[in-house]
Amino acid sequence: MVIQSNMTSKAITEVWEDTVEVFQKYNVPIIEKTLQVLVNDNILQLLLIELNNFVGSSTATCIQGG
């Protein structure tokens, strides 16, 4: 699974608890709002890259449709 902007920070940390560190680095609260709502567009792409690197996820680790 790739972490995407339409996911909530709360849902992400429920699956990958250690991502709390990344959210703290970017001052993102752990709540039930999507990342695209919580984070400025300029920072969003950097955050997504760092989160996915942190959990070892990329489009290469996922299959289409699941």
Model pLDDT, residue 58: 61
Can you tell me whether residue 48 is helix, strand or coil? helix
The number of domains in the chain is: 1
The answer to whether residue 47 sits within a structural domain is yes
The answer to whether residue 2 sits within a structural domain is no
pLDDT digits (tens, 9 = 90+) for 10-44: 999 999 999 999 999 999 999 999 999 999 999 99
Average pLDDT score over residue span 51-61: 77
Phi (first) and psi of residue 34, to 5 degrees = -70, 155
**Residue 60 pLDDT grade (very low, low, confident, very high; cuts 50, 70, 90):** very low
The answer to whether residue 46 sits within a structural domain is yes
The answer to whether residue 34 sits within a structural domain is yes
The answer to whether residue 66 sits within a structural domain is no
Q: Kindly report the pTM of this predicted structure.
A: 0.83
The burial class, CB within 10 Å (0-12 / 13-18 / 19+), for 15 is: exposed
Q: Tokens 């950097």 identify what position?
A: 46
Average pLDDT score over residue span 42-56: 95
The answer to whether residue 39 sits within a structural domain is yes
Domain membership of residue 15 as a residue range? 9-61
